[in-house]
A and B are shown apart, each in its own frame.
Chain A
Amino acid sequence: MSEGIEVINVTKQYNVFAMEKIEALKDINLSISKGEYVGLLGMNGSGKSTLARLFNGLLKPTKGRVYINGIDTADPVNLPEVRRLVGMVFQNPDNQLVCPIVEEEIAFGPENMELPLEEIRRRVDWALQVCGLEGKRHHAPHLLSGGQKQMAALSSVLAMLPEYLVLDEPTSMLDPQSRRALLDQIYKLNKQEGITIILISHNPEDLLQADRLIVLDQGSICLEGVPRKVHANAKIKELGLDAPSLYQLIDHLESNKFPVPESIKSIPELVEHICLEL
Chain B
Amino acid sequence: MTGMKLGQYVYGDSLIHRLDPRTKIICCILAVISVMASVNLYYLLCLLLLMVTAIVSARLNPKFIFKAIYQIKTLLLITLLFQAFLTPGKAVLTIGTITMTREGLALGSINILRLIILFMGSLILLMTTTPMKLSIGIECILRPLEKINIPVHNFATILSISFRFLPTLFEEASIIRNAQKSRGSQFDSPELMVKIKSYAAIVIPLFEASLSRAGDLGEAMDSRCYTSHPNQLRMNSLKMKGQDVLALVSVSVIVLAVIPVSILMK
The answer for the CA separation of A92 and B224 in the assembled complex, in Å, is: 16
The answer for the CA separation of A107 and B233 in the assembled complex, in Å, is: 11
Q: Given contacts A53-B219, A95-B213, are A156 and B224 in contact (CB under 8 A)?
A: yes
**Residue among B2, B213, B219 with the most chain A CB within 10 A?**
B219
Contact across chains for A83 and B235 when beta carbons are under 8 A apart: no
- Residues of chain A from 83 to 120 with CB closer than 8 A to chain B in the complex: 83-84, 87-88, 90, 92, 94-101, 103-104, 107-117, 120
* Distance to closest chain A CB from B244 (angstroms): 18
Residues of A within 8 A of B171 (CB): 142
> Is A173 close to B, CB under 8 A?
no
CB contact between B224 and one of A53, A104, A124, A160 (< 8 Å): that residue: A160
The answer for the CA separation of A103 and B212 in the assembled complex, in Å, is: 25
> Is A157 close to B, CB under 8 A?
yes
Contact across chains for B227 and A140 when beta carbons are under 8 A apart: no
Contact across chains for B132 and A99 when beta carbons are under 8 A apart: yes
Residues of A within 8 A of B231 (CB): 111-112, 114
The answer for the CA separation of A87 and B219 in the assembled complex, in Å, is: 12
Q: Given contacts A95-B213, A95-B217, A101-B131, are A84 and B235 in contact (CB under 8 A)?
A: no
> Is A141 close to B, CB under 8 A?
yes
The answer for the CA separation of A120 and B160 in the assembled complex, in Å, is: 20
A-contacting 9-mer, from B81-89, B162-170, B184-192, B256-264: B162-170
The answer for the CA separation of A120 and B233 in the assembled complex, in Å, is: 9
> Is A45 close to B, CB under 8 A?
no
Contact across chains for A107 and B217 when beta carbons are under 8 A apart: no
Interface flags for B226-252 (1: CB within 8 Å of A; 0: not) read: 110001011111000000000000000
Interface flags for A53-74 (1: CB within 8 Å of B; 0: not) read: 1001010000000000000000
* Distance to closest chain A CB from B207 (angstroms): 15
Size range of the chain B interface in the assembly: 20 to 34
Contact across chains for B9 and A140 when beta carbons are under 8 A apart: yes
> Is A179 close to B, CB under 8 A?
no
> Is B161 close to A, CB under 8 A?
yes
> Is B208 close to A, CB under 8 A?
no
> Is A176 close to B, CB under 8 A?
no
The answer for the CA separation of A156 and B164 in the assembled complex, in Å, is: 16
CB contact between B223 and one of A87, A107, A142 (< 8 Å): that residue: A87
The answer for the CA separation of A138 and B2 in the assembled complex, in Å, is: 16
Contact across chains for B167 and A140 when beta carbons are under 8 A apart: yes
Contact across chains for A113 and B130 when beta carbons are under 8 A apart: no
Contact across chains for B132 and A101 when beta carbons are under 8 A apart: yes
Interface of A is mostly: helix
Contact across chains for B233 and A100 when beta carbons are under 8 A apart: no
> Is A132 close to B, CB under 8 A?
no
Residues of A within 8 A of B164 (CB): 97-100, 140-142
**Residue among A95, A98, A100, A124 with the most chain B CB within 10 A?**
A100
The answer for the CA separation of A84 and B233 in the assembled complex, in Å, is: 17
* Distance to closest chain A CB from B16 (angstroms): 16
> Is A26 close to B, CB under 8 A?
no
Contact across chains for B132 and A160 when beta carbons are under 8 A apart: no
Residues of B within 8 A of A98 (CB): 160-161, 164, 217, 220-221
Contact across chains for A100 and B160 when beta carbons are under 8 A apart: yes
Contact across chains for B217 and A58 when beta carbons are under 8 A apart: no
The answer for the CA separation of A186 and B35 in the assembled complex, in Å, is: 56
Contact across chains for A111 and B130 when beta carbons are under 8 A apart: no
> Is A265 close to B, CB under 8 A?
no
Contact across chains for A95 and B130 when beta carbons are under 8 A apart: no
**16 A–B contacts from the bound complex (CB under 8 Å):** A58-B219, A80-B225, A84-B225, A87-B223, A88-B219, A88-B220, A92-B213, A94-B168, A98-B217, A98-B221, A103-B235, A104-B236, A111-B231, A117-B237, A120-B233, A153-B220
**Could you tell me which B residues sit within 8 Å of A by CB distance?**
2, 8-9, 11, 130-132, 160-161, 163-164, 167-168, 171, 212-213, 216-217, 219-227, 231, 233-237
